[in-house]
């Protein structure tokens, strides 16, 4: 299951009617208009208003922060970072900008920088549950599962009614192969909100690991009933179809997932696996290499890539990939493959 940050902070400032300073009034008008444009998802217009505010005052931290968020929402993460940095440079204690910068660094895979900003927030406001939750997301991406579990536990201790917190804790348990504990956590989450689709998506992933493919399909379909266009759910269903040898259905779901989110390495892994199973080894290698470049921690990616290399006569590269697969604990490399690599 892919974990995505969900806590993007936009600071809305109410226009102060009757303000005596003309410049201050203009700044607040630009900020308010920009915020309204963001609410309407008119990001070009929002960027214009925030930029106009910054022309009046190059160190207007609210506008810099919100302009960064416009770039973030349009997936221009490098550009968003530039303006979050500017907001913090102008206003060193501006916690929302630290939080937003952590989000941007997360997307840019600068995980240590993200953690540094979250720790600053926690130092100033140690009872901020969402900061611990976000820290858990970052630590999960770093594959530091014990630390992630600790962060999610702290978030739940501070605010135990957030379904996201419980589901992501269950996801960490899933990654740690603690299937039954993960199920218990998901059942607790369902008591709070039975219509949270990630509950059923994670239950589907557990069922896949337990080779209960019919149950996995039932669960992921339930997730898709609640969120029909969720690319991760579609990709997971595509993987189930691959395991069931339903190639047409698998290809359709995986392609749809990539169309909805072209930045998800897991979908490219599954497309590579589709080609591998259909003996198109050249395209399998191409897609699996792309998946590794996007996220080297994708489950079983090195085993599948090694298989593609081997089928394409690239034994040295295959053996290197199988070695990485073993290091990551995939337990997929057979004795025969190990023998070939000696």
Which residues have a Cβ under 8 Å from the Cβ of 187 and sit 6 or more positions away?
Answer: none
Which DSSP category does 4 fall into? Answer: -
User: Could you report the per-residue pLDDT of 186-230, keeping only the tens digit for each?
Assistant: 999 999 999 999 999 999 999 999 999 999 999 999 999 999 999
Instruction: Indicate whether 114 belongs to any domain.
Output: no
User: Could you report the per-residue pLDDT of 115-149, keeping only the tens digit for each?
Assistant: 999 999 999 999 999 999 999 999 999 989 999 99
Cβ burial, residue 229 (10 Å; 0-12/13-18/19+): exposed
User: Per-residue confidence at 21, pLDDT binned at 50, 70, 90?
Assistant: low
User: Per-residue confidence at 185, pLDDT binned at 50, 70, 90?
Assistant: very high
Question: 54, 64 in Cβ contact below 8 A?
Answer: yes
Instruction: Indicate whether 240 belongs to any domain.
Output: no
DSSP, collapsed to helix, strand or coil, labels residue 302 as helix
Q: Quickly tell me which residue has 């630390």 as its tokens.
A: 147
Instruction: Indicate whether 98 belongs to any domain.
Output: no
User: Could you report the per-residue pLDDT of 54-113, keeping only the tens digit for each?
Assistant: 999 999 999 999 999 999 999 999 999 999 999 999 999 999 999 999 999 999 999 999
Contacts 24+ apart (CB under 8 A), 83-88: 86/59, 86/61, 87/61, 87/62, 88/61
User: Can you point out the beta strands (E) in the chain?
Assistant: none
Mean pLDDT score across all residues of the chain: 91
Q: Name the residue with higher pLDDT: 15 or 73.
A: 73
Of 117, 113, 111, give the one whose Cα is nearest residue 140: 111
Q: Quickly tell me which residue has 């444009």 as its tokens.
A: 37
Instruction: Indicate whether 62 belongs to any domain.
Output: yes
DSSP, collapsed to helix, strand or coil, labels residue 41 as coil
Residue 53 has pLDDT above 90, yes or no: yes
Instruction: Indicate whether 250 belongs to any domain.
Output: no
Distance CA 69, CA 5 (A): 13
Distance CA 194, CA 172 (A): 20
Q: How far is CA 188 from CA 4, 165, 177, 342, in A?
A: 21, 11, 19, 49
Instruction: Indicate whether 46 belongs to any domain.
Output: yes
Question: CATH no. for residue 36?
Answer: 1.25.40.10
Instruction: For residue 160, count other CB atoms closer than 10 A to its CB.
Output: 12
Give the number of domains in the chain.
1
Instruction: Indicate whether 218 belongs to any domain.
Output: no
User: Could you report the per-residue pLDDT of 268-299, keeping only the tens digit for each?
Assistant: 999 999 999 999 999 999 999 999 999 888 88
User: Per-residue confidence at 341, pLDDT binned at 50, 70, 90?
Assistant: confident
Distance CA 252, CA 237 (A): 10
Of 23, 25, 45, 27, give the one whose Cα is nearest residue 36: 45
User: Per-residue confidence at 329, pLDDT binned at 50, 70, 90?
Assistant: confident
Q: How far is CA 270 from CA 30, 98, 191, 194, 199, in A?
A: 46, 35, 33, 29, 22
| Structure token pair of residue 190 | 């369902």
Domain of 23, in residue numbers:
1-91
Q: How would DSSP label each residue in 168-230?
A: HHHHHHHHTT-HHHHHHHHHHHHHH-TT-HHHHHHHHHHHHHTT-HHHHHHHHHHHHHHSTT-
Q: Name the residue with higher pLDDT: 242 or 12.
A: 242
Instruction: Indicate whether 66 belongs to any domain.
Output: yes
First to last CA, the chain: 35
Cβ burial, residue 244 (10 Å; 0-12/13-18/19+): middle
């Amino acid at each position: 299951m892919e974990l995505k940050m969900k806590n993007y902070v936009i600071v809305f400032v109410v226009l102060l009617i009757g303000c005596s300073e003309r410049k201050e009034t203009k700044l607040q008008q630009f900020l308010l208009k920009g915020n309204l444009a963001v609410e309407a998802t008119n990001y070009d217009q929002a960027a214009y208003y925030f930029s106009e505010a910054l022309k009046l005052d190059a160190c207007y931290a609210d506008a810099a922060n919100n302009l960064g968020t416009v770039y973030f929402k349009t997936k221009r993460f490098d550009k968003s970072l530039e303006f979050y940095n500017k907001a913090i440079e102008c206003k060193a204690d501006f916690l929302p900008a630290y939080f937003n910068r952590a989000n941007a660094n997360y997307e840019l895979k600068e995980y240590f920088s993200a953690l540094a900003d979250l720790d600053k927030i926690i130092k100033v406001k140690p009872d901020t549950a969402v900061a611990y939750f976000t820290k858990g997301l970052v630590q999960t991406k770093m594959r530091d599962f014990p630390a992630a579990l600790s962060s999610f536990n702290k978030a739940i201790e501070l605010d135990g009614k957030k379904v996201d917190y419980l589901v992501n804790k269950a996801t960490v348990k899933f990654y740690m192969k603690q299937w039954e504990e993960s199920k218990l956590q998901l059942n607790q989450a369902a008591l709070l909100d039975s219509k949270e689709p990630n509950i059923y998506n994670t239950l589907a992933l557990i069922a896949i690991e337990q080779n209960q493919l019919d149950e996995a399909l039932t669960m992921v379909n339930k997730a898709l009933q609640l969120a029909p266009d969720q690319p991760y759910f579609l990709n997971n269903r595509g993987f189930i179809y691959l395991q069931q040898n339903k190639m047409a259905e698998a290809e359709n779901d995986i392609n749809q997932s990539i169309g909805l989110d072209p930045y998800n390495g897991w979908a490219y892994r599954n497309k590579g696996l589709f080609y591998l199973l259909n003996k198109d080894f050249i395209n399998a290698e191409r897609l699996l290499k792309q998946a590794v470049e996007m996220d080297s921690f994708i489950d079983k990616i090195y085993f599948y890539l090694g298989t593609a290399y081997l089928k394409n006569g690239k034994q040295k590269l295959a053996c290197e990939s199988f070695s990485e697969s073993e290091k990551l604990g995939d337990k997929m490399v057979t004795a025969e493959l190990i023998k070939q690599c000696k």
